Each structure stands twice: as C-alpha cells, then as structure tokens.
Amino acid sequence: MSDPKEYQIRQACHHLWRQHPSGASTFSACSNNDCVNLARGGLFCAECCTKDLGKLVGIEMAREYNATVMRIRLMEHEMQSDLKEDEVDEIFPGTRDALGSLGVKQ
C-alpha cells in the first residue's frame, strides 16, 4: 500500500527544499544515474525532485514551485547579507541561471 498522496506531495516538496539550502552545503553527483546535475548530499538534484513532484501535481505546478523556492532562498540570502552576485553563485550554484532559464525575473 502506498502512502497517501498528501504525504507524497509533502515529501516531494521537502526533498526539493533540501536541494536549495539556505547556506553553504556539499553537492555531489545526482543519485539518478541518467542525470548529470549536482545534488545536495548526493541525493536527487532539484531538477529530478521537480520531476518527481510533477508526477504528483503536474509538471507546470512543480516547476513553478521549484522556481518559487529558489526565489525565496535568494531573498533570504539577500535579507541576511550584502553579498555580490558571484558570492551568491558560489553559495547557490546554478540558481540564478536556472531562474533565468525558467523565465523568472530576479
């Protein structure tokens, strides 16, 4: 018997948030062998987590959720410091590029 859908959605969202840490973290190869992205803690990368969430709520909603999580993390960071863009890139590798490719205004 599988978990209730509500629980599955919460888990998928949690995994996605985990891929956007609020501070420096360790990234390594995504656990999905077909994926070339980096993932926090060697788990599944944000893109793979987004696809997993998409299976539950639809890929458009999942992509929007992922973009929103990234924006919140950047906002949190901005509120806490006066970091320059290259410093943000160091702490959140790929986030600004990913937001741009999603068409999200930064």
Q: Which residues bind Zn ion (CB under 5 A)?
A: 30, 32, 35, 37, 45, 48
Number of helices (H), then strands (E), belonging to the chain: the values are 5, 2
Q: Based on CB atoms, which residue is closest to Zn ion, 8 or 32? A: 32
Closest CA to 20 of 103, 105, 77, 62: 77
Q: Based on CB atoms, which residue is closest to Zn ion, 29 or 61? A: 29
**CB 38, min distance to Zn ion, A:** 8
Q: Based on CB atoms, which residue is closest to Zn ion, 30 or 88? A: 30
**CB 19, min distance to Zn ion, A:** 9
SS3 call for 40: strand
Length of the chain: 106
